Amino acid sequence: MKALVTGINGQVGKALLASVPDGWTCVGLDREALDLTDADAIARIVDAERPDLVLNPAAYTAVDKAESEQALAHAINAEAPAAFASALARTGGRLVQVSTDFVFDGTSGTGYRPGDARNPQSVYGASKAAGEDGAGADAIIVRTSWVYAAGGANFVRTMLRLMRERETLSVVADQIGSPTWATGLARTLWGLAQVGKPGIYHHRDAGVASWYDFAVAIAEEAQALGLLERIPRILPIATTDYPTPARRPSFSVLDVSLTRATLGDEPVHWRSNLRTMLEEEKALG
């Protein structure tokens, strides 16, 4: 079985290549190998490779910048999945499209289920919702949240840098979600691909947190591992105290019961996965 994996220099793309199941061969694609804004190039590579599966974690993820780069965000996040779906309809392969908690507005008080109404509040969220639509009914769509991995560009590594540089940090405490380790997400993506049942699924680590809670945990776990000499003062602030161009959902916890029932497993708590990621980070030097 052959799979194309996009975004192989990103956190999820790397994790996918590191966890390829037995019996699969992968063609990894970075932005030099495939321009996701070029629908014709997408069609050509699918026609040439004839993959059984396309795993598409690649995305325009600069949430705030997307507010002023709407066309580019839409091309990568919405038009590219549609182009993959169209090409795969000819060749017979299946698309696994990675999406986001940002398709929801954050007004729910309980975990969002796959079939809940979407109401994105940002250009980024709207582009990803359009990507879900473009992927179509034959795709496996997996929404996730707050992704991080060792060596990647993410909240965990940003916090580690700032904690080494500053005596005091202010972190938003009124946005609630679930951190997600990219390795666990990759395993779920492969698992759902092998099950092969199209539809919308959710993946996140167990437990919930605010960004403030997450930052405090990062500091404590990093100090325990010797990645930090001291823990700076971490202050909780409101979203209104840290204005950004893009509006973010205040509550974006995803209900993962369908995914876990489909795969017959249980999610690992985010703090346990954070510890594992920081151990990997330490090993990277």
pLDDT tens for residues 185-236? 999 999 999 999 999 999 999 999 999 999 999 999 999 999 999 999 999 9
Q: Could you say which residues of the chain have pLDDT below 70?
A: none
Query: Is 112 part of a structural domain of the chain?
Result: yes
Query: Is 161 part of a structural domain of the chain?
Result: no
Query: Is 254 part of a structural domain of the chain?
Result: yes
Query: Is 156 part of a structural domain of the chain?
Result: no
pLDDT tens for residues 259-279? 999 999 999 999 999 999 999
User: Cα 276 from chain centroid?
Assistant: 18
Distance between CA atoms of residues 45 and 57, nearest Å: 17
Per-residue pLDDT at 134 = 98
Question: Strand locations in 63-198, DSSP E?
Answer: 94-100, 140-144, 147-148, 168-172, 176-177, 180-181
198, 137 Cβ separation under 8 angstroms: yes
Query: Is 285 part of a structural domain of the chain?
Result: no
Distance between CA atoms of residues 203 and 166, nearest Å: 33
Is residue 242 flagged as an active site residue? no
Distance between CA atoms of residues 196 and 215, nearest Å: 37
CATH number at residue 253: 3.40.50.720
Query: Is 211 part of a structural domain of the chain?
Result: no
Domain extent, residue 45, equals: 2-149+178-206+249-265
User: Cα 153 from chain centroid?
Assistant: 12
The conformation of residue 128, written as its DSSP 8-state character, comes to H
Per-residue pLDDT at 82 = 98
Catalytic residue among 60, 124, 148, 201: 124
Query: Is 275 part of a structural domain of the chain?
Result: no
Query: Is 233 part of a structural domain of the chain?
Result: no
User: Cα 138 from chain centroid?
Assistant: 21
The conformation of residue 268, written as its DSSP 8-state character, comes to P
Count structural domains, the chain.
1
Residue 192 tokens, joined: 């759902």
Candidates 60, 9, 18, 24; CA nearest to 185 is: 18
Full DSSP string of 205-264:
-BS-EEHHHHHHHHHHHHHHTTS-SSPPEEEEE-GGGS--SS---SB-PBP-HHHHHHHT
The backbone torsions φ and ψ at residue 196, rounded to the nearest 5 degrees and listed phi first, read 80, 15
Distance between CA atoms of residues 81 and 84, nearest Å: 5
Radius of gyration of the chain (CA): 19
Location of structure tokens 């990277």:
284
